[in-house]
């Protein structure tokens, strides 16, 4: 459903300033793609209703399909979730969050790939080693990790959301995690190991000042663990909310003045209280550009028994031992779009066109989206 305000509206009215507000050409190209999404600039296609009593013609503009676009994530999210449903293990899943301190934000701005690769590497090493420790689990486990780089006010806030099954494989046998509360492994211990290993890795690549290292070791690095998911439906719901999430959705935009943007945020430190934040167009675009990932960077990664190298071999063995998860939600996977007029027929594509527009004479009995300047 189209919202009243869109990120694309802000980008289009600042089209000539995008290059000045970004740090590299990749960020500029991404923002230009978001601005052109579902406008005449990308061309479109013509759909016709299959219902003979309707025969409605619907003209649509093409999407940019960019992973940072607020309007292009729904289909990708559904496809990804369908693949993951078949890989669910009949065990509780834990949600852990590993957060980098703000003192590393300057590295995230200028060397994002380096910093985020280290974040993935170190996080998995911590979870893997705690899992194989007989004191905690004594088995090989897995992890799905999803990188988010933003806070509610669009500030830089790199953190990794991790989904870890409550158990693992030990000598070919499935072994459930010992903890029955919200902690898979002790959070304070993980935090200290996370900090030490991250600092060890970052020193290999970047020479930090004495003051920066002192500040980083003085802080308590945040490792947060939520209560486990006890059902497959909860895991799928979580995947749907977090996997293809972007820095800001169109639904959070509440007002666009001539030169400013007002959007909704939540203060999670004080009971998820909502608040409104107003930024100038230029500041909004600058903050948005900070969350554009490097070209080709993989922001969703699988490790251990959930990795591509292991899951095809190990998941059937695990399923044979502990069974399949039950009560998976029924998902609508139809690739056909329902006609918005008669609600009975489906829309089939009969013609494509470029940015010059659809062929003349096709507008009779047609729904045409408004052109975006």
How much is the pLDDT for 360? 67
CB atoms within 10 A of CB 302: 20
140-144, 197-201, 218-222, 282-286: which has the minimum mean pLDDT? 218-222
* pTM for the model: 0.88
Q: Which residue has the higher pLDDT, 260 or 329?
A: 260
The tens digit of pLDDT for each residue in 206-244 reads 988 889 899 999 888 989 887 777 666 677 777 777 788
Chain centroid offset of residue 262 CA: 23
State yes or no: pLDDT of 141 exceeds 80: yes
Q: What percent of the chain has pLDDT over 90?
A: 51
The tens digit of pLDDT for each residue in 320-346 reads 998 887 755 555 555 568 888 888 888
DSSP string, 154-173: S-EEEEEEEEEESEEEETTE
> Whole-angstrom distance between the N-terminal and C-terminal Cα of the chain?
20
Q: Write down the domain spans for the chain.
A: 37-68+333-367, 91-247+291-322
DSSP string, 259-324: SEEEEEEEEGGGTSEEEEEEEEHHHHHHHHHTTPPPTT---EEEEETTSHHHHHHHHHHHHHHH--
- Strand 57-61 and strand 260-267: pairing? unpaired
Mean pLDDT of 97-117: 94
> What is the band of 182 on the pLDDT scale with cuts at 50, 70, 90?
low
> What is the band of 373 on the pLDDT scale with cuts at 50, 70, 90?
very low
How much is the pLDDT for 179? 66
């Amino acid at each position: 459903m189209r919202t009243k305000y869109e990120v694309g509206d802000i980008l289009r009215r600042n089209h000539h300033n995008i290059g000045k507000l970004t740090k590299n050409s990749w960020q500029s190209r991404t923002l230009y793609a978001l601005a052109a999404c579902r406008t005449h600039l990308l061309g479109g296609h013509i759909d016709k209703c299959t219902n003979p009593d309707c025969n409605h013609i619907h003209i649509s503009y093409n999407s940019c399909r960019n992973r940072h676009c607020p309007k292009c994530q729904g289909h990708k999210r559904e496809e990804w979730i369908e693949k993951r449903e078949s890989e669910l293990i009949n065990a509780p899943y834990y949600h852990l969050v590993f957060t980098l301190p703000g003192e590393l934000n300057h590295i995230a701005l200028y060397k994002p790939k380096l910093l985020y690769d280290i974040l993935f590497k170190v996080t998995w090493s911590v979870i893997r080693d705690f899992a194989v420790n007989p004191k905690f689990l004594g088995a090989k486990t897995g992890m799905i990790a999803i990188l988010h780089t933003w806070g509610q006010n669009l500030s830089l806030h790199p953190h990794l959301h991790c989904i870890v099954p409550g158990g693992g494989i030990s000598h070919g046998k499935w072994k459930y995690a010992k903890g029955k509360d919200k902690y898979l492994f002790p959070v304070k211990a993980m935090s200290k190991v996370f900090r030490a290993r991250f600092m060890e890795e970052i020193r290999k690549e970047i020479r930090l000042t004495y003051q920066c290292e002192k500040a980083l070791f003085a802080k308590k690095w945040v490792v947060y663990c939520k209560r486990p998911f006890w059902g497959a439906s909860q895991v799928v719901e979580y995947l749907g909310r977090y996997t293809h999430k972007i820095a800001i959705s169109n639904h959070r935009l509440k007002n666009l003045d001539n030169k400013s943007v007002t959007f909704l945020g939540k203060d999670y430190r004080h009971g998820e209280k909502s608040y409104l934040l107003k930024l100038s167009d230029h500041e909004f675009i600058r903050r948005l550009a900070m969350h554009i990932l490097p070209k080709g960077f993989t922001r969703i990664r699988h490790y251990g028994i959930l990795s591509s190298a292991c899951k095809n071999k190990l998941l059937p063995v695990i399923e044979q031992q502990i069974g399949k998860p039950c009560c998976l939600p029924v998902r609508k996977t139809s690739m056909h779009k329902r006609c918005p007029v008669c609600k009975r027929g489906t829309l089939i594509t009969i013609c494509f066109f470029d940015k010059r527009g659809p062929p003349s004479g096709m507008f009779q009995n047609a729904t045409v989206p408004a052109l975006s300047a």
